[in-house]
Structure 1
């Protein structure tokens, strides 16, 4: 059984399914040597067989899975006496490589052994049993592939050793992502630190070391930068803009806006509409460059 999935909504480029299915293999059934242009994960439901990469041959059985990487030459074959039954999903996307790395996969480590609860296997079978139709078809399948990725990450028992400098960079990136997703809410530096799981003072020191500003000032600047983008929409009042970037009090917003830009919001907006200034760089640019 094979299901082919052509996404109708190309907003799902971060992670998307190409095809999925299952097969009861006959003794000695094989595929390859061949290459794929996408990721292909096989999960063994029953039986056994072999999987070959350029580096080595793996003998696999029930509850294990093997991952084929794009452009890698691979070969797999069902056992002659106890041929495997497997299901598979082919997928790709901008987030695929990172999510697979979080799951413990790599080109030199393409094998997974499921946990005792068979969490990955249950997700795979749930996926292949789906036959969604209608306008929400791509959403249902996208949800399933993310559920599978979550199961793979949870199943990863390997503790990755992250260099101290990389870990500090990771914490700073988490702060930036948290602010980008939550700037419109009433968040504080303590909220950010609690979400990341670090002491507020320590996290602030790490952030300042890499970004040359503290978290509070970064949050203020980010909110004002977002407010500037909304200024061009004349249907929005200054109060609307203030609330949209996390300020319930328009007076407080105006005070902070003037402190950062040098002008009150209403005056700045008049100047912007009559003579649009160059776009201010996003504060996140400091991290990305």
Structure 2
């Protein structure tokens, strides 16, 4: 059963923020709403379960600790999962600062969803919003305070994510520099790079896949092959010498990897026979 509070606030649209509606619901299996439009921002936060949100021909699968924002005048549709339907709370609002606050929290028309690192804390905020229905005089004031508190948590969460991203970029930069200085070592291993950065191998693998969409091993191979290509083309080195120069003691193995990576054998590449 849905719990809804329609505040019937006089909508001046000249204030920083004003709340239109809030509530909560445990959805039944496959329960859906829309396609429909709203004339205010409408946040849904998922306490448990999962479902999907569709807007602007895009679909997002969302679960506990995540949420979505319906933008004013945008056609949207959302549906609870058939097996594990979501329970969510919602709050609708407008105001001069509404879109600015959402953007600070990393929420835009192109990215109308969010994820919190503190699901229990955010759930508690929304539960307090629902409980304001029992208040007489201070309902609107408390709801406004809770909405600001929720947005503040999202903004802090976004700031921390940016810091984490900056840190990841710094780790990646150091890893790439380490490879640049050591790629010619035949004994170079991915664990050496991880040890140099004081990271475990699995985190290093995750880092490269997240930021470069490839594993550290694949990056090292491609880096070595690009270096070998330059040596073959500019210095006309023999295949064996080019292999040794980029860390391969077995020229046959080097040639096999070079062809797989570059699409042509090293001897053909050296002679300018670039047609595959």
**Equivalent of residue 53 in structure 1, options 48, 52, 55:** 55
Distance, in Å, in 1 between the alignment partners of 2:121 and 2:157 is 8
1:159 aligns with 2:162: yes
| Structure-2 residue corresponding to 1:232 | none
| Structure-2 residue corresponding to 1:72 | 74
- Larger-Rg structure: 2
**Equivalent of residue 149 in structure 1, options 151, 155, 160:** 151
- Structure 1 pair 30–11 and aligned structure 2 pair: CA distance change class (3 A): closer
8 Å Cα contact 1:31/1:77 also seen in 2: yes
Give the unaligned 5+ runs of structure 2.
Answer: 164-276
**Equivalent of residue 85 in structure 1, options 81, 84, 87:** 87
Alignment of 1:119-268 (within 5 A): 119-131=121-133, 133-156=135-158, 157-159=160-162
8 Å Cα contact 1:5/1:18 also seen in 2: yes
Distance, in Å, in 1 between the alignment partners of 2:100 and 2:57 is 22
| 1:121-151 deviation line (CA, Å, top 9, x unaligned) | 3222221222253443322222222112211
TM-score by length of 1: 0.51
| Structure-2 residue corresponding to 1:196 | none
**Equivalent of residue 21 in structure 1, options 20, 23, 26:** 23
8 Å Cα contact 2:66/2:115 also seen in 1: yes
- Structure 1 pair 121–87 and aligned structure 2 pair: CA distance change class (3 A): same
Superposed CA RMSD in Å reads 2.2
Distance, in Å, in 1 between the alignment partners of 2:155 and 2:128 is 17
**Equivalent of residue 105 in structure 1, options 96, 104, 107:** 107
| 1:188-212 deviation line (CA, Å, top 9, x unaligned) | xxxxxxxxxxxxxxxxxxxxxxxxx
Distance, in Å, in 2 between the alignment partners of 1:92 and 1:41 is 11
8 Å Cα contact 1:22/1:87 also seen in 2: yes
Shift of the alpha carbon at 1:117? 5.3
SS of structure 2 residue aligned to 1:98: helix
1:36 aligns with 2:38: yes
SS of structure 1 residue aligned to 2:155: helix
| 1:20-50 deviation line (CA, Å, top 9, x unaligned) | 1111111111001111100000011111111
SS of structure 2 residue aligned to 1:159: helix
Distance, in Å, in 1 between the alignment partners of 2:79 and 2:92 is 18
- Structure 1 pair 113–59 and aligned structure 2 pair: CA distance change class (3 A): same
| 1:153-178 deviation line (CA, Å, top 9, x unaligned) | 11214539xxxxxxxxxxxxxxxxxx
| 1:66-107 deviation line (CA, Å, top 9, x unaligned) | 111001111100111111111111111111011001010000
TM-score by length of 2: 0.54
Distance, in Å, in 1 between the alignment partners of 2:13 and 2:43 is 23
